[in-house]
Amino acid sequence: MRVKTNNANKDSKGSAHHKARSLFGRRKGRPLKKERREALDNLLPKLQIPKDKLSEKHECNPQDFFTNPLSSYWLEIGFGQGEHIATLSERNPKTGYLGAEPFINGMAAFLKSVEDKPKDNIRVLMDDGMIIARSLAPASLEGIYILNPDPWHKKRHHKRRIINRENLDIFAKILKPGGQLVMTSDVEDLSAWMCTQASNHPDFEWQAQNKNDWSVPPENWIPTRYEQKGAKGSKKMVYLFFKRK
């Protein structure tokens, strides 16, 4: 399904409007249970990055999204139900985490899960994560997670894959030198694709020295929901750590 996203730009009067781009994938699933609906209604307005701050002109300092100063900032694109970003934010209260997930059921599950937890260092967008990426200032992030992105198996759909040259250019721009791009998948063809695309990019360097470095999760790795449910049988998880040169 192709859905038009609302990407922010300012018009001549200075008010925010959003350039239409295509976001591939679903935004809605089953109707939300009452407690998830309530979490969405109550918490999203508090944690959502205001769209009018996202100009897609690489002008935003991630600090502007948070009340308290934080030491560094990471972005997770497509966080699903958000268990990875939620655990990280608890482990590292001084680090700011930006997360994007356009699927309302995923966002609602995430918000319900953090309801009773500290969340001063998390901000989210229920939309295309590239809107955040295109808005962040150059060299403003310590790292980017793209964990188990949609594989888009058919060849004619490969151009929909989030890892592509255009988006890698954007990630290279917003990462600090030495910053990390972390990608995972259990889909062999997609893992190879992501590894090739990033290896061929002049600004990224693959950190793996041997097979264990990409086939075994690093110590303290937080498995995502998809990783726990999906990586079974012949499917093999691959963990790709690239460094911004």
Structure tokens at 201: 């990019």
Does residue 226 bind ligand SAM (CB under 6 A)?
Answer: yes
DSSP secondary structure letter of residue 60: B
Binding mask 15-44 for ligand SAM (x = CB under 6 A): --------x-x-------------------
Alpha-carbon span 85 to 213, nearest angstrom: 22
* CB closer to ligand SAM out of 76 and 142: 76
Structure tokens at 85: 């970003």
The DSSP bridge pattern shows strands 122-125 and 95-100 to be: parallel
- CA torsion sign for 24, 28, 30, 32 is positive
For residue 226, give the H/E element and its range.
helix 225-230
Among 101, 109, 110, 201, binds ligand SAM (CB under 6 A): 101
Least separation in angstroms between CB 145 and ligand SAM: 8
Among 36, 60, 78, 104, binds ligand SAM (CB under 6 A): 78
Contact 61, 202 (CB under 8 A): no
First to last CA, the chain: 36
Does residue 150 bind ligand SAM (CB under 6 A)?
Answer: yes
Least separation in angstroms between CB 135 and ligand SAM: 13
**Catalytically active residues, by annotation:** 150
C-alpha distances (whole Å) from 190 to each of 76, 152, 175, 244 are: 18, 8, 23, 21
* CB closer to ligand SAM out of 47 and 130: 130
- 3-class DSSP state of 108: helix
Does residue 179 bind ligand SAM (CB under 6 A)?
Answer: no
Own/partner contacts of 231-236, CB < 8 Å, gap of 24 or more, are 231/186, 235/186, 235/187, 236/186, 236/188
Does residue 147 bind ligand SAM (CB under 6 A)?
Answer: yes
C-alpha distances (whole Å) from 75 to each of 47, 89, 98, 123 are: 14, 12, 5, 10
Among 36, 47, 74, 106, binds ligand SAM (CB under 6 A): 106
Among 7, 135, 148, 167, binds ligand SAM (CB under 6 A): 148
Least separation in angstroms between CB 42 and ligand SAM: 22
Least separation in angstroms between CB 89 and ligand SAM: 15
Least separation in angstroms between CB 78 and ligand SAM: 3
Does residue 164 bind ligand SAM (CB under 6 A)?
Answer: no
By CB under 6 A, the count of residues binding ligand SAM is 23
Does residue 224 bind ligand SAM (CB under 6 A)?
Answer: yes
Does residue 136 bind ligand SAM (CB under 6 A)?
Answer: no
Interface with ligand SAM (CB under 6 A): 23, 25, 77-80, 100-103, 106, 128-130, 147-150, 162, 224-227
